[in-house]
Amino acid sequence: MDISKRNFLSWMAMIAMNPSLSWASGIPNKYLILVELKGANDGINTLVPYETDNYQKLRPNLHLKKNKIIDVGNSPLVGRVGLADTMSLLDKSINQDLAIIQGVGYPGQNRSHFKSIAIWETGGDGQNSKTAGWLTNSLEKRYSNDQVVAHGASLEGSLGLFARGSGVYISMARLNQLYGHNASNSQTSMNALMKKIIKNKADLSFASQQISKKLSYFPASKLPTRMPYGNFSAQLTDVLRVIGSETAIPVMHVQHGSFDTHEGQKWQHPQLLSELTKGLASFRKNLINMGRWDDVLVMTYSEFGRRVAENGAQGTDHGAASVQFVMGGKVNAGLYGDYPSLDKLEDGDLVYTMDYRSVYEHICSSWLNQKNNEWQTFSDKRLRSLIS
């Protein structure tokens, strides 16, 4: 478990004031779960424009046949679209609580994994980069330090999503790592620096023990239904334990992938989508049975999409626009935005039809109740009904 040095003391002070680690009185116990599809998911074979001629023409080996597609509706520029049938476990969500946002991207697409994910996590674009996490400002206005255990937590990967935030942010590879901290104040040293290190280790041990105690009241065995096997589902299991134990961490980040399918996509991509779907479907089922689905909002994101044409290795290379999923008990199901035309490409890529910061604006205003947020200029009326 990592705690940034800047936030460590404030987090420790908060724990001393709020040892129960539960939500402060009067604060709605809502959770935003950000699912990073690491490596750049191929949106074209996720939400498939199967009626357009160029789909099969440009993907002679990788295109999905019509009987392998779950139709979800019509999009003006491409006709009927549907989800890959490896996502069939989401069938109960399709007409109830799964929103599919089409053509998401940004101006001046950067095709570097490292640079583009940094853009997504801070809210910049190919011309104007930013340095602070995209939701830190709204999140910190919504919750003060003494109202939460941490404003956000990353269960896999770095804290880039919460960069330069002034709140409390923690990184945990897995929650069970909390049990391994046994530093003690009984250690001594005459060196001032060593004294500080020993004290910090002891404080971290105390904090870990407090969180462990809270989570011990809601072990994985207490979930209504067992989660599937695999790293992604294991991360979601930890998220369920946080929610079930009422631990006040309003934003959690998980990761799945790699979706960097330059070769062998025909076999890799369906498996990745299947694992994603199994995890999300079981996560949803557990939360419904726990009576908490209305308190949770899930959003996927990925650094970019893939090129429309397949390459010579039966894979796809770095592209531009892609698809996002938003799901939760308060989500109004359906297609949002417009699928980019496959007849009017830009350098072989889809041309984005919705700025991804429009989604950020809607989440900040509708989920975090921060109407005057920094993304207001990107407000898009097509998302008006996304969250009830």
Q: Is residue 388 part of a domain?
A: no
Kindly report the number of other CB atoms within 10 A of residue 213's CB atom: 14
pLDDT in tens, 257-292: 999 999 999 999 999 999 999 999 999 999 999 999
Kindly report the number of other CB atoms within 10 A of residue 9's CB atom: 12
pLDDT in tens, 116-160: 999 999 999 999 889 999 999 999 999 998 888 888 889 987 889
- In the chain, the number of structural domains is 1
What pLDDT, on a 0 to 100 scale, did the predictor assign at position 201?
56
Q: Is the pLDDT of residue 235 over 70?
A: yes
124 or 214: which carries more pLDDT confidence?
124
Q: Is residue 45 part of a domain?
A: yes
Three-state DSSP class for 9?
A: helix
Q: Is the pLDDT of residue 4 over 60?
A: no
Q: Is the pLDDT of residue 293 over 50?
A: yes
Q: Is residue 219 part of a domain?
A: yes
What pLDDT, on a 0 to 100 scale, did the predictor assign at position 182?
52
Kindly report the number of other CB atoms within 10 A of residue 193's CB atom: 8
Range of the domain at 271: 2-383
Exposure string over 314-326, b if 16+ CB within 10 A, otherwise e: bbbbbbbbbbbbb
Closest CA to 251 of 87, 39, 9, 31: 31
Q: Which uninterrupted H or E stretch holds 237?
A: helix 231-244
What pLDDT, on a 0 to 100 scale, did the predictor assign at position 188?
60
User: Using 50, 70 and 90 to split pLDDT, how confident is the model at 175?
Assistant: low
Residue 314 tokens, joined: 């039966």
- Give the whole-angstrom CA distance, residue 240 versus residue 238: 5
Q: Is residue 379 part of a domain?
A: yes
Closest CA to 237 of 250, 247, 229, 227: 227
pLDDT in tens, 333-360: 999 999 999 999 999 999 999 999 999 9
- Give the whole-angstrom CA distance, residue 234 versus residue 211: 18
What pLDDT, on a 0 to 100 scale, did the predictor assign at position 26?
79
pLDDT in tens, 296-323: 999 999 999 999 999 999 999 999 999 9
- Give the whole-angstrom CA distance, residue 227 versus residue 286: 9
What pLDDT, on a 0 to 100 scale, did the predictor assign at position 15?
43
Q: Is the pLDDT of residue 232 over 80?
A: yes
pLDDT in tens, 247-265: 889 999 999 999 999 999 9
Residue 133 tokens, joined: 């996490």
Q: Is residue 309 part of a domain?
A: yes
What CATH number should be reported for the domain holding residue 94?
Answer: 3.40.720
Inter-CA distances, 303 with 109, 154, 211, Å? 10, 17, 32
Q: Is the pLDDT of residue 325 over 80?
A: yes
Q: Is residue 230 part of a domain?
A: yes
- Give the whole-angstrom CA distance, residue 156 versus residue 231: 10
pLDDT in tens, 49-89: 999 999 999 999 999 999 999 999 999 999 999 999 999 99
Q: Give percent above pLDDT 70 in the chain.
A: 85
Inter-CA distances, 162 with 4, 61, 167, Å? 11, 40, 9
Q: Are 378 and 362 in contact (CB under 8 A)?
A: no
What residues have CB less than 8 Å from 32, skipping those under 6 apart? Answer: 135, 250, 251, 252, 296, 297, 299, 363, 367, 368
What pLDDT, on a 0 to 100 scale, did the predictor assign at position 167?
85
Per-residue HEC secondary structure of 12-23 comes to: HHHHHHCCCCEC
Q: Is residue 286 part of a domain?
A: yes
Q: Is residue 137 part of a domain?
A: yes
Residue type, 285: K
Q: Which uninterrupted H or E stretch holds 327?
A: strand 322-328
* Pick from 42-51, 155-164, 200-209, 259-268: least confident: 200-209
Q: Are 100 and 339 in contact (CB under 8 A)?
A: no
What pLDDT, on a 0 to 100 scale, did the predictor assign at position 128?
87
